Amino acid sequence: MPYLEIKKQESNEEILKSIEMPDVTGITVAEASKILKELGLEFSIEKQTQNESESENIVVEQLPKKGIQINEGTKVIIYTE
């Protein structure tokens, strides 16, 4: 409000980048984690069955689904077989 000589406060909050959720199903956990990290997304891995090598597990499901608009920093859940 310039007429009252009150300065606009700067927001310390960062403006979050909007991202379209990619499809990471059908690829290894290692590949999926690389893609998600490059986009600035956090993720957790839920195992549906035990496999000896986590990096060789294939992603069979994801939340949120592909194509959904999400913000950078959103936590994604990937499910492996």
What does the pLDDT look like over 30-75, one tens digit per residue?
999 999 999 999 999 998 766 555 556 899 999 999 999 999 999 9
Vertex 37 angle, CA 65 and 73, to 5°: 65
CATH T-level fold of 17-80: Trypsin Inhibitor V; Chain A (3.30.10)
Q: Which pTM was predicted?
A: 0.72
What does the pLDDT look like over 2-15, one tens digit per residue?
565 665 555 545 67
Residue 32's Cβ-count burial label (10 Å; 0-12, 13-18, 19+) is buried
